[in-house]
Structure 1
Amino acid sequence: MKSKLVPLIVAALLAPLPASAMDVIKGEILQGWVLPDGNRVAAIRMTMAPGWKTYWRAPGDMGIPPQFDWNGSQNLSGVAVEWPAPTVFREKNLTTIGYKDQVVLPLVISVPKKGAAVHLKTTIDMGVCSDICVPAQLHLDGIIDTDATRAVPAIAASLAQRPFSAKEGGVSKATCMISFNNGDLELETVITLPDAGGQELVVIETGQPDLWVSEADTLRKGKTLTSKVDVAHSTGGPIALNRSQIRMTVLGDKHAVDILGCTPD
């Protein structure tokens, strides 16, 4: 069967946007292909009205990260969202990270019954932003039943836009140091890698959703990129960081680099 792109969107509902903004974002499920192990690749394509954007998994100041609920799906035991490299939006006193116009989010779907169709249902809670930023919700429902094994161009192109791995990005070392300043926890990372282009930004994720991380102060000197962030617990509780779970994404004008884990020195 020839591989083809089949939109399966049945609904794209927004809440609580005012009626005049109901069409600022639309979503659709895209057929993908079957992997050699019987699992599937599909995608969600989101299209924003002119002047609107949505957010990456780590949205920066004041952003709302997308949250996916797969309840109601059938023949699905897990979904990995593969994020293409986002854009850094710098405004006065505000930096956010996300996508404008359109984004395709590839999905790697674990399938318990190999060869059978997947009924994919998802609710996506997210934020959309123009002159104002508001919460939104997409409801998508579709059947993924292609038997194609060739990659679909639109999804393959998005997969190709993912950040480089540490090896691909030329990372030779990544360290992180923890200190306290007036009772506040500070995390400093030092990454040795080639220049990613332009005004680089390091985004730090702790792997713990109950921890808040500030925007990084990022500075490059030669081959070394240093960043500092403040870390706080959302409920004021104690903080325990696992260096192996700290994720550092370098966003540059030329490319992005995704680095998982750091060492004390």
Structure 2
Amino acid sequence: MKYALILSLLTALPAAAQDLPQGLESARFLPGWTDAEGRRVAALELVLEPGWKTYWRSPGDAGLAPVFDWKGNNIGKVDFHWPAPEVVVSGGMRTLGYHDRLVLPFTVTPESPGQPIGISARVTLGLCENICIPAELDLVATAAGRQPDPVIEDAITRVPRPGKDLPACEIGEIEDGMTVTLSLPVPGAELAIEYATDPDIWVSAPELSKDGREVTADFVAPSGKPFPLDPQAVVMTVLGKDSATEYRGCTAG
């Protein structure tokens, strides 16, 4: 009984109290709260060492997005609320991610409504200073709080807002896939482009036109051949200085 209690306490410790991979000062799940619909709102918190970064859901030319292998109980659908990333150019490669601290909120819908949700997971992620390394963390959240956590609420406000008007786009074939040219609502803006329905499709770094009004990216499938690209699956996130806007889909001409 005494051994089981000690083991339980060690398992519940944040990763800051356990062995951490290089580049991290601390890692834990913020336990969050249960909302009015019975969903658990929580977050992954990473505090990085100076000069280190970790990655967004679409890392760019290099890097590894966080992957969660859930181990808890009563975990149904999990929706992530990704704060807008930063653009980092290192060694000639353009990546998207975070430095200093990342708070990544998520909402867990219970598999069995009305029953408690226990959150634990093995998290695989990329960490980078001069070179990038994969890392694994085993994290367990304590019980949900009674009130919303202002730290998580603040991170949710940093999620890109939905764009009102879908950008116009032109879609064409290339030898090993497809190419898409999108109109930009803000000329010359920093941005990210993803393909929402198939994570196996590689998307190149966006290339701005000379006048900064359009951006082009290539979409390459594992087959290495052209494929029926869905314009509604093209996601463009425009990164402003103080806010970001996400456009899910485009209007093909």
Q: TM-score range by the shorter chain?
A: 0.7 to 0.9
1:256 equivalenced with 2:217 (yes/no): no
Contact 2:33 2:144 in 1 (8 A): no
TM-score, structure 2 as length reference: 0.85
Please, what is the CA RMSD of the aligned residues?
A: 2.5
Aligned counterparts, 1:63-212, within 5 A = 63-70=63-70, 72-146=71-145, 148=146, 150-167=147-164, 172-181=165-174, 185-191=178-184, 193-194=185-186, 200-207=189-196, 208-212=198-202
SS at match of 1:155: helix
TM-score, structure 1 as length reference: 0.81
Which runs of 4 or more aligned residues in structure 1 lie more than 6 Å from their structure 2 counterparts after TM superposition?
none
Q: Over residues 18-73 of structure 1, what are the superposed CA-to-partner deviations in whole Å (9 max), with x where a residue is unaligned?
A: x9x83422321112122111112111101111111000001111121111111x22
1:226 equivalenced with 2:223 (yes/no): no
Task: Give the deviation of 1:183 after TM superposition.
Answer: 5.8
Identify unmatched segments of 5+ residues in structure 2. Answer: 1-10
Closer, same or farther: CA 57–220 of 1 in aligned 2, 3 Å: farther
Residue type at the aligned position of 2:124: D
2:192, 2:12 → 1: CA distance?
Answer: 32
May I ask how many residue pairs the two structures share in their alignment? 239
1:62 equivalenced with 2:62 (yes/no): yes
2:103, 2:225 → 1: CA distance?
Answer: 37
Contact 2:40 2:107 in 1 (8 A): yes
1:96, 1:116 → 2: CA distance?
Answer: 40
2:94, 2:250 → 1: CA distance?
Answer: 25
Q: Over residues 65-95 of structure 1, what are the superposed CA-to-partner deviations in whole Å (9 max), with x where a residue is unaligned?
A: 111111x220111111110011111235211
Contact 2:122 2:136 in 1 (8 A): yes
1:10, 1:78 → 2: CA distance?
Answer: 25
Contact 2:23 2:49 in 1 (8 A): yes
1:91, 1:23 → 2: CA distance?
Answer: 19
SS at match of 1:118: coil
Q: Over residues 227-262 of structure 1, what are the superposed CA-to-partner deviations in whole Å (9 max), with x where a residue is unaligned?
A: 101121134255221111211111222321111111
Contact 1:127 1:133 in 2 (8 A): yes
2:43, 2:231 → 1: CA distance?
Answer: 31
1:93, 1:69 → 2: CA distance?
Answer: 32
1:109, 1:183 → 2: CA distance?
Answer: 38
